[in-house]
Amino acid sequence: MKNAPLKLPEVRWVDPGRLTAGLDRHQRMDLSAHTRVHPPLPEPDQEDLLALAEAVGLSGRGGAGFPFARKARATLAAADRTGTAPVIVVNGAEGEPASAKDKMLLARVPHLVLDGACLAAAAFDAEEIVIGVAAGSPGEISVPAALAERELPCPARTVSLPERFVSGESGALIRGINGLPVTPALLKTRAADGAAGGVRRRPTLLSNAETWAQLALAARLGPDAYTAVGTAAEPGTILLTVNRPGADPLVVEVPTGTQLGPVLDACGLQPGAGVLVGGYHGAWLHPSVAADAPLSRAGLAALGGTLGAGAIIALPDDTCPLGETAQVAAWLAAESAGQCGPCKRGLPEAAEALAMLAASAVEPAVLEDARRALGAAQAGGACSHPDGTARFLLTALDVFSEDVDAHLSGPGCGRGVRGVLPLPLAKGARLEVDWSRCTGHGLCAVLAPGVIRLGPHGYPTSATIPVAPWQEHDARRAVNQCPALAMRLRRPV
């Protein structure tokens, strides 16, 4: 591992680190370094482990915040009912471009994550441990090396999944482990119940990589020491990914309830035009409230925000907020699974309206239609993707309302788009319109209505359109049947 070409996220901490302990001395902690930094791991039985998780209020750290003990009890009940051993799943398939905390854990302290998973596997008599990682991420190298170093209570394996936004959704992850397309299930099922929702139809206990690491910390510290920091309702620490313009993100560990202002200061940032908390399924905070915002689920909810997976972006004053938001909106629309109405129509239409707004080329009625579509998308999709995307876009329109007015009433805010909101390099297909050939027949919008929208004069509203995998069939039809031969479907080289 010493010579492995891993790109390891940089870490910082406010107050002494727990999850990040030892990373001031080690780039990556192998088993030897891990055992020098952390004391021996206890071996609690089933009831002791459940009681510990309840005593420290351990909740999921992947975004939903579901209580760990309740999920574990449901899994064990299903295992007893069916007479099958449960499966333990570590969700490290981080498809959020603004988040690096799980990549950091799996790359730099993999044994802390595995400690938590092994505790549960031993206490719950698990059949198998499965660790889901993003293809091409450091976890592909680091986790198998860590598994080879240690004794395990049951067989364990690593599964690599395509690096897409929806790959980290629990249903999509389990489908990928089962060898199916990595998309959310059409019908919502619970992994804990097994049947169609679990790994190989087994009752499955699935939690985020940070959740498993927190379980290992709680077992070593005990309830009193673990709850000595943080808030009474949400004790302990949390991992944040603080994104910086023109630099790699920082993974920062802070006690729950820490105000956002000191975290930004520690990373050399200011609230700027607004702060996004929770990543691209999170919510924007106005700079007037951002500095004092408490970094806890309850504290942010009181401000209309969400902690989500802990990704933070402070938007500088010298970039166009609507242009930045429009770029992410287009990416999120293309990243959807395209399995329900909000994803197939609502998100692409909202993304197109945002792009037109950023270009000061949208009518107020079109923007209001987009608001209504996003409102309908909330809690109306087959998975959480439409809901989270709608929250991201609607809070942007509220926080940047002055910019919205400037773009509706005149030439816009006068600022360019710096590309501060991080996005991966384009991997999917793009539909390109050759304006020298296009004559405005409009057939393309009939053949590919979810991809192409026409402006008031009958021409496509954009010359370059991202195409999701589920849209490619319609896009090819539009290319092949264009009377003017004005369209091309291209892929990145």
pLDDT digits (tens, 9 = 90+) for 135-174: 888 999 999 999 999 999 999 999 999 887 777 788 889 9
Type of residue at 307: L
DSSP secondary-structure letter at 346?
I
Residues facing 129 on adjacent strands: 88, 156
Distance CA 431, CA 450 (A): 12
Contact 333, 351 (CB under 8 A): yes
Reported as a pLDDT band with limits 50, 70 and 90, residue 211 is very high
30 CB burial (10 A radius; 0-12, 13-18, 19+): middle
Joined together, the tokens standing for residue 440 give: 């405005």
Q: Sign of the CA dihedral 175, 176, 179, 181?
A: positive
- Give the pLDDT band (50/70/90) at residue 61: confident
Taking the CA of residue 39 as centre, how many other CA atoms within 13 Å lie in the half-sphere pointing to its CB? 8
Domains of the chain as residue ranges with CATH? 10-226 (3.40.50.11540), 237-315 (3.10.20.600), 319-424 (1.20.1440.230), 425-493 (3.30.70.20)
The dihedrals phi and psi of 275, each to the nearest 5 degrees, come to: -125, 125
Q: Please state the rounded mean pLDDT for residues 244-250.
A: 91
C-alpha span between 298 and 235 (Å, rounded): 12
The DSSP H or E segment spanning 147 is helix 139-149
- Report how far apart, in Å, the C-alpha atoms of 459 and of each of 440, 442, 463, 465 are: 5, 7, 10, 13
Beta bridge partners of 11: 251
Write down the residue that tokens 């092949």 correspond to: 480
Residue with more model confidence, 119 or 3: 119
Residues 360-376 have pLDDT tens digits of 877 888 788 888 878 87
- 379 pLDDT tier (thresholds 50, 70, 90): low
Q: How confident is the model at residue 27 (pLDDT cuts 50, 70, 90)?
A: very high
Percentages of the chain per state (helix, strand, coil), in multiples of 5: 45, 15, 40
Region at 209 (left for phi over 0; alpha for psi -120 to 50; beta for the rest): alpha
Cβ–Cβ under 8 Å, residues 426 and 419: no
Q: How far apart are CA 493 and CA 483, in angstroms?
A: 27
- Alpha-carbon dihedral 62, 349, 459, 449, rounded to 10 degrees: 90
Across 58-72, average pLDDT:
87
Find all residues with CB under 8 Å of 321, minimum gap 6, and list them.
273, 274, 315, 396, 399, 400, 403, 413
The CA distance from 130 to 313, in Å, is 31
Measured distance CA(467)–CA(323) in Å, rounded: 19
Query: Looking up tokens 């889901």, which residue turns up?
Result: 132
From 344, 340, 355, 349, select the one nearest 374 (Cα to Cα): 349
Q: Which residue has the higher pLDDT, 137 or 493?
A: 137
Record the tokens describing residue 110, joined without a space: 């993999």
Bridge partners for 284 per DSSP:
276
Structure confidence at residue 380 (pLDDT) = 65
Pairing between strand 429-433 and 464-467? antiparallel
Exposure class string for 2-21: b at 16+ Cβ within 10 A, else e: eeeebebbebbbbeebbbbb
Residue with tokens 């549960």: 120
pLDDT 10s digits, 387-444: 889 999 999 999 999 999 999 988 888 899 999 999 887 677 888 999 999 999 899 9
Residues in the chain: 493
CA distance linking residue 175 with residue 178, whole number of Å: 5
pLDDT at 493: 63
Would you say 75 and 124 are in contact if contact means Cβ atoms under 8 Å apart? yes
**CB-count exposure of residue 476 (10 Å: 0-12, 13-18, 19+):** middle
What local confidence, expressed as pLDDT, does residue 376 receive? 74
Distance of CA 271 to the CA centre of its chain: 22
Burial class (CB in 10 A: 0-12, 13-18, 19+), 492: exposed
Q: Are 461 and 455 in contact (CB under 8 A)?
A: yes
Q: Mean pLDDT lowest for which of 16-20, 346-350, 397-401, 416-420?
A: 346-350
Alpha-carbon distances of 273 from 258, 286, 405, 408, rounded to whole Å: 21, 7, 15, 19
Rg over alpha carbons for the chain, rounded to the nearest Å, is: 23
Rounded Cα gap, residues 53 and 72, in angstroms: 10
Burial of 148 (0-12, 13-18, 19+ CB in 10 A): exposed
